[in-house]
A and B are shown apart, each in its own frame.
Chain A
Amino acid sequence: MALFERMWDMCSELHFPSVREWKRAHPDGRAIAYFPVYTPVELIHAAGMFPVGLAGAGDRLDIQHADARFGSFICSIVKTTLEMALTGHLEPFDGFLFSSICDSARNLCFVLKRNFPGMYVDFLHLPHNPSSPAATQFLVEEYRRILAELERLGNCRVRDDTLHRSIALYNHNRALIRELYDLRTRNPEQVPTWQLYQLIRAGNFMPVEEHTAQLQEALVQFRAGGTKQRDSIRIVVEGSFCEQPPLPLIRLIEDAGCYIVDDDFVIGQSWFDSDVPREGDPLWALATSYMDHAVCSSVRHDFRKPRWEELVAKVRRSQADAVLFLVAKFCEPAYFDYVPYRQELERAGIPHLQLEFEEKSFTFDRLRMEVETFVESLVFD
């Protein structure tokens, strides 16, 4: 479909034509890149800036410089992101935001800071103790701090009503993504994941208003689509995705006989399970939404409800038959979570398979065989 090819081109272009175009149209505008998984994009948007989600360079960039800075046993997305920076690809950006997802990503933040002293590089400490009543206040102050930096960078002042407008726009965008995911869970034959994925991921590179329009168009197309039902097994794909799977990998999973009825591929884009409130202090609204209405993820720690129980609940909700853990090579948070996840799935009698991938893979025979074997083992009981 032409819609999705356009989306994919946007995701693949390492020179960020959409960003350059936006800057041409907004001569004083600033583009702020952010590293996965979640960033409060409303703050960037309200400051009149263009938030762009980076997701590594996949297999499109050979690592020539980044290996010397980051050694072995480090995931690919950290290295390709640094490689992009060191080879000038990130030139259209004025700032770079990281958050507290893992040690490798955090060290990358400071390596960039040292190597690009002219750029605004910041680190957002998202709370890891939501059971503390003090955590929300802390997060509000942290958002205030980031906002102040953005105001300084953009030489502007951000008012509450501007923030409310940005929140409304992103609420709408997220609501549409939730709707698309719901449609796929109910009628997976209507929503091939390899198409949905390109659509969602393109949101990283487009102004939110444009992306929302694309989501609406896609929703209509998907609903109208009448692909016939297949005998596929329904699976949840779980992977703590910061590093993204190559598109052919998603296709081969579906081709091997799976309907992906839920996933956490670009989860930062639909981070909240409901709208962020539009009344009261907008920073407070964003902070409480993060604390109490955020989805489950391996990079967010909320000890009030164990992630492994949430995973089983997700499987039941989406009426899935099995779970496929897709772990990026060297992704420590995902490796750790696998242990309690696996135990809980075994207790619940839910079949599962764990596979490793790299964003820069371009041959998939091995993975194809493993997924097919898994499907065969479930079907030929």
Chain B
Amino acid sequence: MTDKKEYRGSIHQRQKDLMLAWYGQLDQAALTGTPPTVSMMISGNCVELLEGFGAVPLYPEINALQLAIRHQSLDPILAAEDLGYAADNCAYVKADIGCLLKGITPTDGKLPTPTLILCNFVGCNTYLKWFEHLAKFQRVPLYVIDVPFMRTDEPSRSDLDYVVNQLNETVKRLEQLTGRKFDYDRFRQAVECSSRTEGLWSQIKHLARRSPSPFDAYFDAITLMGPLYVYRAKPEGVEFFEAALAELEAKADAHKGVYEQEHFRLVMEGPPPYPYFRTFRDMFAKWQACAVASTYSTVGGLWEFGFRHDPDHPFESVAMHMIAQNVTNRNLLQRYEQIRRYVEDWDADGVIIHFVKSCRLFSAGQGDMRDYFTKQLGVPTLYVESDLEDPRYFAEAQTKNRIDAFFESLEHTKATASIRRKV
């Protein structure tokens, strides 16, 4: 296989530098106790709030996925299972807690014990248990921001008020714990940075509507997501995404796609199998199939449909983002609608549903999703199963067969139909 199947512009290196710098800050915090750090969940994260304290986010999910990508996730998972976690508990949690038990980190640096464990509960019930356990093991105060689930089309006034109230309570907690006064102006500026970063990210996502798409909106987007969660509310984040957009726009203008030829355009649903990230990607690269949109890249926030943080209403817009503008707190039917929009507006040939054993939020009911797309909308859909963190649950031969069969059939369909089906 040629190495043209991976996007490797200068932005890739810059992304690595930023993430290393972040880990460096965490290492510093571990050694010196400053700056304060706050553990948080990626989905619907309120990193802007932390800027008001000069606090650095700590993301256990990023630790977990880093371990898996580096093929180091099995040992900590086993350590957690020794403690009593079940085979069917989310492997992200097991890997993270296992690291704590074994005193290892994905990089060579140390990770600090956070000042506050802030559970932004946005739909994922596992988040609650995970952070509850971390707080118990690390003996760190826990605060849960209970974000009402999207059970109606739009959040209600009551939903917003509840979250804004809790954000204010979080501020008070952090003031007590850090001994620092909340800097409202810095917070506003952070919200403003976010709105700019989001605009750039949204433009990048929209670049994938072109044919060929200049990047893979699943595999490459995941790589770009790190800076989005750590640096979204900082000027470095804005710079990074400005550079990323420029580079990708140039690629798009030059009609340069991810592969020699873009044979298939896909929408990907579900997290990737991180322990087999490269292997999984190769299975699609073989067919020159490029993802033009993905739901997983919207866990931290859904910005391609117009939402932006608003510096004039900082608390409210942070609350709105947490309630309504991230895929995890949106209900299953809203996810169907999101994917349908991608298929139509991003002009995709099919949908790939990757069921992961660990994550019931994403995976429970994906069979119904397949039913909706194939039977109701007539969109070719493939369903494959593995796990996002545990290397023991990947059947390579079987997965490859299914993917090959899907594309063979899709190839045949495209050859016999001259017009792409509109939904």
Contacts and interface: CB of A to CB of B under 8 A. Distances in A.
A223 interface: no
Interface string A258-299: 000000000000000000000000000000000000000000
Interface stretch (A108-116, A210-218, A249-257): A108-116
Interface string B103-135: 000000000000000000101111011101100
A123 B84 CA distance: 32
A71 B208 CA distance: 31
B146 A335 contact: no
B363 A110 contact: no
B131 to A, nearest CB: 10
Contacts of A115: 368
Contacts of A335: 85-86, 88-89
B7 interface: no
Contact of A74 (B142, B165, B360): B360
Interface centre among B83, B84, B361, B385 (most CB of A within 10 A): B84
Interface string B366-381: 1110011000000000
B161 interface: yes
B145 interface: yes
Interface of A is mostly: helix
A343 B84 CA distance: 9
B388 to A, nearest CB: 13
B203 interface: no
B148 interface: yes
A72 B387 CA distance: 12
Contacts of A114: 332-333, 336, 368, 372
Contacts of A343: 84
B371 A69 contact: yes
Nearest to A126: B146
Contact of A340 (B88, B126, B133): B133
B162 interface: yes
Contact of B148 (A101, A108, A132, A138): A138
A223 B343 CA distance: 66
Given A104-B360, A110-B333, A134-B161, A122 B86 contact: no
Interface residues of B, number: 51
Given A71-B367, A128-B144, A145-B156, A135 B85 contact: no
A342 interface: yes
A125 B125 contact: no
Interface in B378-417: 385
Interface string A292-334: 0000000001010010000000000000000000010010110
Contact of B88 (A78, A145, A301, A332): A332
A114 B332 CA distance: 9
B151 interface: yes
B332 A111 contact: yes
B151 A339 contact: no
A110 B331 CA distance: 7
Contacts of A107: 332, 360-361, 364-365
A338 interface: yes
Nearest to B393: A73
Contacts of A18: none
B146 A128 contact: yes
Interface string A148-161: 00000000000000
B363 A71 contact: yes
Contacts of B133: 336, 339-340
A178 interface: no
A332 B89 contact: yes
A104 B364 contact: yes
9 contacts: A103-B364, A107-B360, A114-B332, A125-B148, A128-B128, A129-B166, A134-B165, A134-B166, A340-B136
Interface of B: 83-86, 88-90, 93, 121, 123-126, 128-130, 132-133, 136, 142, 144-146, 148-149, 151, 156, 158-159, 161-162, 165-166, 169, 331-333, 336, 355, 357, 360-361, 363-368, 371-372, 385
Interface of A: 67-74, 78, 100-104, 106-111, 113-115, 122-125, 127-129, 131-135, 137-138, 141-142, 145, 301, 303, 306, 327, 330, 332-333, 335-340, 342-343
